[in-house]
Chains A and B, each alone.
Chain A
Amino acid sequence: MNISTISAKIAGGGRIDADEAWALYEKADFHELGHLAHQVRLRKHPDSVVTYVVDRNINYSNICVCGCRFCAFFRSPGQDGGYLLSREELAQKIEETLALGGTQILMQGGHHPDLPLSYYEELLQFVKSRYPIHIHAFSPPEIVHFSRLEGCDVATVVARLRTAGLDSIPGGGAEILVDAVRKRVSPHKCSAGEWLGVMAEAHRQGLRTTATMMFGHEEEPRDRLKHLFALRDLQDRTGGFTAFIPWAFQPDNTALRCPPATAVAYLRLLAVSRMVLDNFDNLQASWVTMGPRVAQLALHFGANDFGSTMIEENVVAAAGVHFRLSIDEIRRVITAAGFRPQQRTMAYQWVE
């Protein structure tokens, strides 16, 4: 398959198929890949703006019955170090976030063995009744877990959480959307079909969501592309995804033995994602896993968003990676790459 033919197709705004994506991923020259992805990004966002969101990752609990092999964050029920945040702790974290100009919280947690759905509903009502803040919470595996514990379907869980104040759903827990891989690395987590099903249902009920990919563990390179095409197909049907966020698996303190994905591997995947996901408006760079230098370069490899300021982050930190960036530093890095920094909301509306 000829790379220049595929390049011409992309430059002309055409959609690439799985074979063409694979040819680019395998064979295209590094700069050519970055250049093509950047052209697609500039077509979608011609104003040279790079956005970011001021938010805080709040993990309500690390107690989890899922036991994924790639996770350094969870504690099994009864194990030392397990916690469940109190209302007071949660309130304090939200007040700090608002004081720092934050507009949203990203709230996720482990698969707790015995909290009823009403616990999460009351949590949402508690936050919404007190604070003017967007709640981006409960990834699809949590929602599937809630539905099993509660003995009701996913549509009911989504509807009840939405009524209680849920504003949008984060794209976590997607890992690699190929069941053969999931069976190896996260055998107790929801299937690829269930993950996509939660997102389809959320979109149907009017909730926007993001999508992630965690790569660089036990998957094959072709599995990454299958993941991208599964997302593209769903987005064709619903249009509910706001952004795609690929990030590299961090192996420290986990049960998987493999070296961390390199920067070149990350940038190649990001660029191919930009070209495959022609129906996604936004791609986020991951400074939390790749560091500010590589994340800045990612703005020339297809990303148009610098993600979150991460006032708090626990999951990647548990895997031994501790990058920290202030809002000023994020703005400086974006500016130095030749773009204009702009704070946004979860729905990618600008915050003035």
Chain B
Amino acid sequence: MLDSRCYEELGLASVLAKVQSGERLTVEDGERLFVCPDVNAVGALAHAVRSRRHGNRATYVMNQHINYSNICVNGCRFCAFGRRQGEPQAFQLSLEDVVEKVRERLDQPLTEIHIVGGCHPDLPFTYYEELIRAVKTSRPGAYVKAFTAVEIAHFARKENCSTGEVLGRLKTAGLDMLPGGGAEVFSPRVRQLLCPEKVSGDEWLRVVREAHAMGIKTNATMLYGHIETHRERLEHLDALRRLQDETGGLVCFIPLPFQPANTQVEGVQPTTGVDDLKTIAISRLMLDNVPHIKAYWIMLTLKMAQVALHFGADDLDGTVIEEKIGHMAGAQSDQALTRAELERVIGEAGFVPVERDCFFRPVTHVE
């Protein structure tokens, strides 16, 4: 941390005291950090908290992303990925296609398959159960992290059953964990303007709470940098913090900078580096009960994600391969990274690279 006089001059002496003693920050504290002109001062606070939790380790995962379909009934204005059925560029993978994608990479030591897609209007629920089973059968050693809370709620509506039943059947099929997508910003004002068809923030939290109660861990995201205020970002973080107090089921939080290209959100420019780093740092400081903060290089660029390891993040995500959602919105990063590249970037930033699985347990490969 920087010298305490520096925080006094910035009017952040009380925040510094809370961080030092491990006391929880309020939404108002978060607002003061967002308007602080000194990004290094904010970053140093988050780095202290991150170092207390994780020492000088920074993790990555050997993973594969599969987007089974981009056909979606929601039509969120911030999305460049979704297509209506029948539109050009709409796609939907058969189970054979998915199995093929998994088999293509069997020679690589992957531990996680990340599967998400649009809210498809007419795929039967059995498709999703079979999808999980097929992936599990093709690659028994990998964890399947699949379907956001938004997709789970959509499946339940289509199948005319409860989300609890959907989660139960998917768990039986082999689902290991839910990713954190679809949280966007929980504010009803923002959702009404940007994604009125999508489930509400309360419903997202309810589904995730239910998953945790059934022993299914999840991540959580926040899509920021569009029309939301700092206060709305902080209320989003506070809602996740209260959920985590109840369940303890959140593994990792992932702030995602909005990518405006090819979306229907007009007049919004991409986020800037200082905003990205402050958002990561404040997430680390606010979410005192969430173990991990991810700097998702696909959205941030690898250069920024590396810097973010000094601003509260302890994870870079992974090797990915064939990412579609961010790239269709103009993300400028590569499509895939190798283990050597991830370890080099982590090492050059001054951290010890550690491979992890989807639950953030260290991975040791037996040769």
Which residues of chain A have a CB within 8 Å of any CB of chain B?
Answer: 29-32, 34-35, 38, 259, 262-265, 267, 290-297, 300, 329, 332-333, 336-338
Which chain A residues border B37 with CB–CB below 8 Å?
Answer: 338
Binds A, one of B95-103, B243-251, B340-348: B340-348
Q: Provide the bound-state CA to CA distance between A295 and B301, in Å.
A: 13
Indicate if the CB atoms of B40 and A264 lie closer than 8 Å: no
What are 27 A-B contacts defined by CB distance under 8 Å? A30-B350, A31-B41, A31-B43, A32-B2, A38-B40, A262-B306, A262-B345, A264-B306, A264-B350, A267-B307, A291-B332, A292-B273, A293-B272, A293-B300, A294-B273, A294-B304, A295-B273, A296-B272, A296-B274, A297-B39, A297-B274, A297-B277, A300-B38, A300-B40, A333-B272, A337-B272, A338-B274
Which chain B residues border A35 with CB–CB below 8 Å?
Answer: 2, 6, 38, 40-41, 44
Which chain B residues border A296 with CB–CB below 8 Å?
Answer: 272-274
Which chain A residues border B269 with CB–CB below 8 Å?
Answer: 329, 332
Which residues of chain B have a CB within 8 Å of any CB of chain A?
Answer: 1-2, 6, 37-41, 43-44, 47, 269, 272-277, 300-301, 303-304, 306-307, 310, 332, 341, 344-345, 348-350
Q: Provide the bound-state CA to CA distance between A30 and B47, in Å.
A: 10
Which chain B residues border A265 with CB–CB below 8 Å?
Answer: 348
Of chain A, the residue at the smallest CB distance from B48 is A31
Indicate if the CB atoms of B350 and A300 lie closer than 8 Å: no
Indicate if the CB atoms of A293 and B273 lie closer than 8 Å: yes
Of chain B, the residue at the smallest CB distance from A329 is B269
CB distance from A333 to the nearest CB of B (A): 5
Indicate if the CB atoms of B41 and A263 lie closer than 8 Å: no
CB distance from B50 to the nearest CB of A (A): 12
A263 and B350 contact, Cβ closer than 8 Å, known pairs A32-B2, A294-B273: no
Of chain B, the residue at the smallest CB distance from A297 is B273
CB distance from A28 to the nearest CB of B (A): 11
Q: A29-B44, A338-B37 are in contact. List 13 more A-B contacts (CB 8 A).
A: A31-B41, A31-B43, A34-B40, A38-B38, A259-B341, A262-B349, A263-B304, A290-B303, A293-B304, A294-B307, A296-B273, A297-B307, A300-B38
Count of CB-CB pairs between chains A and B under 8 Å: 86
Indicate if the CB atoms of A31 and B40 lie closer than 8 Å: yes
Q: Provide the bound-state CA to CA distance between A32 and B1, in Å.
A: 8
Which chain B residues border A297 with CB–CB below 8 Å?
Answer: 39, 273-274, 277, 307
CB distance from B18 to the nearest CB of A (A): 18
Contact residues of A: prevailing secondary structure:
helix
Which of A31, A259, A293 is in CB contact (< 8 Å) with B303?
A293
Which chain B residues border A295 with CB–CB below 8 Å?
Answer: 273
Q: Provide the bound-state CA to CA distance between A290 and B306, in Å.
A: 13
Indicate if the CB atoms of B274 and A31 lie closer than 8 Å: no
Indicate if the CB atoms of B273 and A264 lie closer than 8 Å: no
Indicate if the CB atoms of B344 and A300 lie closer than 8 Å: no
Q: Provide the bound-state CA to CA distance between A118 and B223, in Å.
A: 60
Which chain B residues border A337 with CB–CB below 8 Å?
Answer: 39, 272, 274
CB distance from A23 to the nearest CB of B (A): 16
Indicate if the CB atoms of B349 and A264 lie closer than 8 Å: yes
Which of A259, A262, A300, A336 is in CB contact (< 8 Å) with B275?
A336
A-B residue pairs, 9 tightest by C-beta: A293-B273, A31-B44, A263-B303, A296-B273, A336-B272, A264-B349, A34-B40, A262-B348, A31-B40
Of chain B, the residue at the smallest CB distance from A290 is B303
Which chain A residues border B274 with CB–CB below 8 Å?
Answer: 296-297, 300, 336-338
Q: Please indicate which of the listed interface residues B273, B277, B301 has the most CB atoms of chain A within 10 Å of its own CB.
A: B273
Which chain B residues border A31 with CB–CB below 8 Å?
Answer: 1-2, 40-41, 43-44, 47, 310
Which chain B residues border A291 with CB–CB below 8 Å?
Answer: 301, 303-304, 332
Q: Provide the bound-state CA to CA distance between A297 and B311, in Å.
A: 12
CB distance from A252 to the nearest CB of B (A): 12
Which chain B residues border A264 with CB–CB below 8 Å?
Answer: 306-307, 310, 348-350
Q: Provide the bound-state CA to CA distance between A335 and B156, in Å.
A: 46
Which chain B residues border A293 with CB–CB below 8 Å?
Answer: 272-273, 276, 300-301, 303-304
Q: Provide the bound-state CA to CA distance between A265 and B303, in Å.
A: 10
Which of B2, B39, B47, B300 is in CB contact (< 8 Å) with A300?
B39
Which chain A residues border B345 with CB–CB below 8 Å?
Answer: 262
Q: Provide the bound-state CA to CA distance between A296 and B269, in Å.
A: 15
CB distance from B248 to the nearest CB of A (A): 31
CB distance from B333 to the nearest CB of A (A): 10
Which chain A residues border B2 with CB–CB below 8 Å?
Answer: 31-32, 35
Of chain A, the residue at the smallest CB distance from B269 is A332
CB distance from A326 to the nearest CB of B (A): 11
Q: Provide the bound-state CA to CA distance between A221 and B17, in Å.
A: 38
Of chain A, the residue at the smallest CB distance from B44 is A31
CB distance from A352 to the nearest CB of B (A): 26
Q: Provide the bound-state CA to CA distance between A336 and B341, in Å.
A: 31
